[in-house]
Amino acid sequence: MSDNEDNKKRRPLKSMPPDGFPLKTGLIWVAIILAIAAIFWLNPPKTPQPAVLNIQRVVEFAQEGKIANGYIRSDATGGRDWSVLTGETTEPILQNSAGTATKAFTATGRLTDSNLEQLQKSKVFIEKPATTAMTQLLYNVLPFIVVIGLLYFLFVRQLKSAGKGALSFGKSRAKMLTRDKDRITFSDVAGCDEAKEEVSEVVEFLKDPKKFQKIGGRIPKGILMVGPPGTGKTLLAKAIAGEADVPFFSISGSDFVEMFVGVGASRVRDMFEQGRKNAPCLIFIDEIDAVGRQRGAGLGGGNDEREQTLNSLLVEMDGFDTQEGVIIIAATNRPDVLDSALLRPGRFDRQVSIDLPDIIGREQILRVHARRITLSDNVDLGVIARGTPGLSGAELANLLNEAALLAARRNKKKVEMADVDEARDKLLWGLSRRRVMDDAEKRLVAWHEAGHAVVQAVLDDGTMPVHKVTIIPRGQSLGSTTYLPTKDILTRPKKRLLDEITMAMGGRIAEELVTGDFSNGAYGDIKQATRIARAMVCDYGMSELGPIAMGENQDTVFLGRDITRSQHISEDTARKVDIAVSDILNSQYKRCETIITEHRTALDKVAAALLEHETIEGRHVLEILKHGEIKSPIVSVRPPKLPPADAAKPADKPAPESAAGHAGSPEPSPA
């Protein structure tokens, strides 16, 4: 299938208004055609004026055979015997009042029985029913009714049903989620036990408000959920409504802000009015920083529409009481930019922090999302949780989904552990690319990654063992060394930071020891080591300069980060900082060089195993260091060949500045 055909199939459908019918182009053309037809009906093309005759003359023409066709119509308005004769002659033998020769004629008068009998004998006259006043009225008025009704159906009703008309422009766009469909409870939310405990009393209040009112307790008016993207803020708000079994209104902060001043404030008032009508209920405002940003900040003053909307929100939150059963829940990942008036007690009384899940929380999240996926018996969710530090709940759900898609592409009936590992590597470091290196570059990358693996295995104290070493290119790196922490690392002592710098130097030293030359493969390693060393000196106080923070910057939040800086150290101190950073890097470089020299034999064997198998596990590195050879079997991790459509795609060229690298930071998540 070509790319164009594929894009056509995946092209999104045209948007439709929330209510009513879509404004189809075909209906517009129908309206135009009917309008044109009505115009021609009411204003037919001008024809020559007929000649006016008497009935006797018409009877004579009929007897002589000069009538081509004719019609007899009784006119009830003129009397019982009053008739109208119309028709045409065979030739233009008549003249109208304008003196023009014509075939058409008309005659009006009383038609006797003998005349009627003679006209019927000619067999050219046809009798028509009588024309009444009501028939004439309908004939003239019906086209107008049809055209006006069609225009009303197409335009007026369409604007009203779409909710975008002038009358509904200031209405709230909050969507009410039904309680019977897609109900979410606390059992569907994992990894944030403390946050669930914080909001559990809100559920109790919505179920039994008198329990708190008897002792004078007042439930918070508003709850602000703060946390990184993907941690489950919206999901937790839906779970509160599901547990309490109350209506749930959801709206985004950007839905309030419009080009016209006053529209957002009107929508805020309408939203609270809807909440009062459906009390008890929950109103959830996602990304509240879009409307709740600090007023009067930034270049060029503030935004009148956004500030008026915020003022209306502040007044409405002060104007209602929680006794009505309306609770506001908002979510943001930028609490630092919110206006202080929005965070004071009486508005958003409570802030619930939802952070990235720990190792236990990640395993619980994986178990929740694994309910919909058929997993093999060899899938250990605890091992997956250990290998995904720093990942949010949304990223963990995406990990299992990618593993299921990968297993389906390989025609498997269950998701295996190898599929999960492949999906994790794909999400964290990118797709594998197998046709970007020749043999010479592959040997260079093998020595580079062997250097990282040997140094990490020697320095590891049991908390960060080597998990996997590979020379399969992924993303912008041509190889990677990953390690699997046995627990979440919350603090990083000086010894561990120095070990990280030493391990980062392992690839460069291994290249120099084998080839006698350097490559740009250590670009990312050197950058990471320098960043750690500078943080040790300037932020952590881990140098001879003492416990002094010298990296403080005053960033202007509303202008962008790192735009304005305030330098608080002198030039002499800055020179000392550079010397201290250089001393740390040079000392760890020498330390790494000593380790690799002492374990040169292990380095060679690890590199040889990588060249043969492309990927080896951390236990194989430990076996080489301990026994001098690999004892356990190496399971091939080469994925089976994909369909030709995927295999035929050309591989991307690697970035020249990051030819090889190592992975395995305690925070591997790109987020």
Residues 488-510 have pLDDT tens digits of 778 889 999 999 999 999 999 99
Ramachandran quadrant class, 208 (left: phi over 0; alpha: psi -120 to 50; beta: rest): beta
CA-to-CA distance for 74 and 80, rounded, in angstroms? 8
Which residues are part of the catalytic machinery?
449
Kindly state the average pLDDT of the residues 161-187.
61
What six digits make up the tokens of 599?
């374990």
Residues 149-164 have pLDDT tens digits of 777 776 665 555 544 4
pLDDT value, residue 400: 92
Q: Tell me: pLDDT of 21 over 70.
A: no
228 assigned ligand-binding residue: yes
670 assigned ligand-binding residue: no
Kindly state the average pLDDT of the residues 459-482.
84
Residues 99-141 have pLDDT tens digits of 777 878 888 777 777 777 777 777 777 777 666 666 666 767 7
Kindly state the average pLDDT of the residues 36-58.
72
**Packing angle, helices 506-515 and 523-538, rounded to 10:** 140
How far does Cα 64 stand from its chain's mean position?
Answer: 86
Average pLDDT value for the chain: 76
Contact of 98 with 118, CB cutoff 8 Å: no
234 assigned ligand-binding residue: yes
Contact of 603 with 451, CB cutoff 8 Å: yes
Residues 334-348 have pLDDT tens digits of 888 888 888 888 788
Share above pLDDT 70 across residues of the chain, in percent, rounded to a whole number: 74
* Local confidence band at 170 (pLDDT 50, 70, 90 cut-offs): low
Residues 630-671 have pLDDT tens digits of 877 776 555 444 444 343 333 333 333 333 444 443 333 322
475 assigned ligand-binding residue: no
* Local confidence band at 200 (pLDDT 50, 70, 90 cut-offs): confident
CA-to-CA distance for 494 and 667, rounded, in angstroms? 18
Amino acid making up residue 529: A
* Beta carbons within 8 Å of 63's beta carbon, 6+ residues apart: 118, 122
Please count the CA atoms within 13 angstroms of the CA of 148 that sit on its side-chain side.
5
Which of the given ranges, 56-65, 118-127, 384-393, 503-512, has the highest pLDDT on average? 503-512
112 assigned ligand-binding residue: no
pLDDT value, residue 463: 81
Peptide bond into 280 cis (omega under 30): yes
Ramachandran quadrant class, 434 (left: phi over 0; alpha: psi -120 to 50; beta: rest): alpha
Q: Tell me: pLDDT of 253 over 70.
A: yes
Q: Please report the DSSP string for 586-624 in residue order.
A: HHHHHHHHHHHHHTHHHHHHHHHHHHHHSEEEHHHHHHH
* Local confidence band at 309 (pLDDT 50, 70, 90 cut-offs): confident
More confident residue, 267 or 552: 267
More confident residue, 375 or 156: 375
What six digits make up the tokens of 598?
């002492």
More confident residue, 220 or 383: 383
Domains parsed from the chain with CATH numbers? 51-131 (3.30.160), 175-353 (3.40.50.300), 365-427 (1.10.8.60), 432-647 (1.20.58.760)
pLDDT value, residue 404: 92
More confident residue, 444 or 48: 444
Query: Could you tell me the CA-to-CA distances from 450 to 76, 277, 570, 637, 654 in Å, in that order?
Result: 110, 67, 43, 18, 20
253 assigned ligand-binding residue: no
pLDDT value, residue 508: 92
230 assigned ligand-binding residue: yes
227 assigned ligand-binding residue: yes
What is this structure's pTM?
0.63
Kindly state the average pLDDT of the residues 537-563.
68
Kindly report the number of other CB atoms within 10 A of residue 13's CB atom.
Answer: 5
Kindly state the average pLDDT of the residues 581-605.
93
452 assigned ligand-binding residue: yes
